[in-house]
């Protein structure tokens, strides 16, 4: 039995991971047999990761109006296909599942529950799915609520600090076994938004690339110095703050001029969408979407 098979979760943890109440879980098991939990040595229900993933599919499909009695007969592949067919259908307002649980916990200052839900999401989901289905909706909603005054600064910090700490641990675990080219991650002076950069670093590390995460707000010359010392093939930057866009081309010019030959600069983040790609210095390219990052990593690996 491998490590994946040994990972088991209580009914409470599954409820938090899926957004389904404990009562709903028991009713679905009793009436429809949607999953068959096992029992631990104490006789308590325990669920495997495959059960959690199936229950998340079922919850999402029921939210789109499909009756559970019909869904229960479908396999996981059929459920996934049904959700893809109905991707344009309206969904329940606000994040659900892991993201919703983290938001609810932050609203009530329940730090331990924030930690638990995020830890479970990281354990169950591959990096790309973790970011697109949990972290990006979560952070976007946190920002929106903070701007509306629905979240206090301390509640926003509870979420962002928890996410940052756990992403750092994930990055470290991947980087221990990485053997491909070196990529340096940083942001330019004045740019302190780093969570998107951390997510990109984890995607690269999960693909076997050695990552060097320097963090936010660094002078271009310092980034270049580090990249030269480690022989990096890529320097990856995140640009978010629109008010700093006017300074970015000059800083990119300094960075590109200071790098060794053969090192390319990748620029991502929401601000990268607004940069004039024709005005970028040689050796600098905008990576505007996750799929483009995947494609470039494929080319780099080849």
CATH 1.10.1660.10 location in the chain? 3-85
Class of domain 97-171: mainly alpha
- Write down the pLDDT at residue 42: 84
CATH entry, 177-301, from 3.40.50.280, 2.60.40.10, 3.40.1360.10, 3.20.20.450: 3.40.50.280
> Would the CA dihedral through 123, 129, 131, 133 be positive or negative?
negative
List every span in the chain annotated with CATH 1.10.1240.10: 97-171
Question: What pLDDT is stored for residue 233 in this prediction?
Answer: 92
pLDDT of residue 95: 56
Which residue positions in the chain have pLDDT lower than 50?
1-6, 88-94
> What digits encode the pLDDT tens for the residues 142-183?
888 888 888 899 999 999 999 999 998 888 888 788 889 999
In the numeric block, the tokens 């869904």 are attached to 71
List every span in the chain annotated with CATH 3.40.50.280.
177-301
Topology (CATH) of 3-85? Multidrug-efflux Transporter Regulator; Chain: A; Domain 2 (1.10.1660)
Query: How far apart are alpha carbons 146 and 172 in whole angstroms?
Result: 30
pTM, two decimals, is 0.66
Sequence-separated contacts (24+) of 109-112 with Cβ below 8 Å = 109/154, 109/155, 109/158, 111/158, 111/162
- Contact assessment for residue 120 and residue 98, using Cβ atoms and an 8 Å cutoff: yes
């Amino acid at each position: 039995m491998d490590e994946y098979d040994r990972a088991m979760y209580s009914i409470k943890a599954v409820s938090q991971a899926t957004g389904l109440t404990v009562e709903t879980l028991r009713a679905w098991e009793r009436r429809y047999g949607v999953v068959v939990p096992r029992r631990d040595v104490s006789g308590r229900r325990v669920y495997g990761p495959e059960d959690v993933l199936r229950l998340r599919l079922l919850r999402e499909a029921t939210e789109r109006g499909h009756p559970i009695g019909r869904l229960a007969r479908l396999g996981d592949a059929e459920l996934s296909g049904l959700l893809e067919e109905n991707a344009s259908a309206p969904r329940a307002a606000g994040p659900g599942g892991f993201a919703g649980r983290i938001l609810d916990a932050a609203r009530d200052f329940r730090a331990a529950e924030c930690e638990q839900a995020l830890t479970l999401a990281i354990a169950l989901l591959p990096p790309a799915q973790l970011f697109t289905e949990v972290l990006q909706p979560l952070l976007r909603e946190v920002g929106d609520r903070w701007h509306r005054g629905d979240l206090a600064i301390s509640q926003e910090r509870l979420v962002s600090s928890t996410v940052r700490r756990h992403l750092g641990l994930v990055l470290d675990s991947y980087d221990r076994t990485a053997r491909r080219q070196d990529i340096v991650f940083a942001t330019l002076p004045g740019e302190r938004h780093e969570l998107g950069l951390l997510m990109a670093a984890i995607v690269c590390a999960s693909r076997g690339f050695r990552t060097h995460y320097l963090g936010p707000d660094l002078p271009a010359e310092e980034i270049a110095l580090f990249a030269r010392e480690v022989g990096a093939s890529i320097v990856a930057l995140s640009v978010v703050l629109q008010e700093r866009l006017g300074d970015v081309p000059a800083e990119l010019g300094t960075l590109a001029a200071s790098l060794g030959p053969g090192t390319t600069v990748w620029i991502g983040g929401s601000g990268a969408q607004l940069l004039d790609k024709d005005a970028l210095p040689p050796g600098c390219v905008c990576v505007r979407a996750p799929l483009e990052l995947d494609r470039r990593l494929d080319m780099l690996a080849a």
